[in-house]
Amino acid sequence: MNPPLQVSVSHLFQVPQLRPAVAGLIHHAFWTEVPGASVDTMAARLQQASHPDRVPLCLVALHGGEVAGVVNLVDNDDDVHVEWTPWLAGMVVREDWRGRGVGSALVRELLVHARRLGCERIYLGTDGPGFYTRLGAVVQEQPNPDFWFMRFDLSA
């Protein structure tokens, strides 16, 4: 296991010069095989996360001025379950910085912001439920053997 990594978590709009790096990180993790998707279109989407008091939010973990990871809170991230809102989405930690608590720090900070915004529940989709279970998420639904919809219940 790698040693813990000291990071700070900021809203992306506070460090707009890092938007291209964040967009690239998300795009390469989730969108490379989506027709028409690009780093530029992701950067444009991330520009919508422009205020701490509304969704969408984009939080970045920073270390020495570099992006270590990112997580987003968006209105919806699923075409079927449109009634589930909001969603934790686009959570990525740079591969060379994984295993150091960056992802956990990002998710915990996102949940703080979601509670502050009055969210009772946060949904997410994942192929790795163990990470989120350790942080308190529960399974909402398992539509296939390799994918889970999960949720964080925040009202308790």
**Cα torsion 113, 29, 152, 63: sign:** negative
Q: What is the pLDDT of residue 2?
A: 54
Q: Are 107 and 132 in contact (CB under 8 A)?
A: yes
Measure the CA–CA gap between 92 and 60, rounded to whole angstroms.
Answer: 10
Band of the pLDDT at 155, cuts 50, 70, 90? confident
Please report where in the chains the tokens 């990071």 appear, as a residue: 7
Using 50, 70 and 90 to split pLDDT, how confident is the model at 78? confident
Please report which confidence band the pLDDT of residue 69 belongs to, taking 50, 70 and 90 as the band edges.
Answer: very high
Contacts of 108 by beta carbon, 8 Å cutoff, 6+ apart: 135
Q: What residue ranges define each of the domains in the chain, with the CATH number in brackets?
A: 8-153 (3.40.630.30)
pLDDT in tens, 12-53: 999 999 999 999 999 999 999 999 999 999 999 999 999 999
Report the predicted TM-score, pTM, of the whole model to 2 decimal places. Answer: 0.93
pLDDT score, position 4:
55
Instruction: Give pLDDT, residue 85.
Output: 96
Give pLDDT tens digits for 113-148. Answer: 999 999 999 999 999 999 999 999 999 999 999 999
Residue 128 Cα distances to 64, 72, 103, 144, angstroms: 29, 17, 13, 13
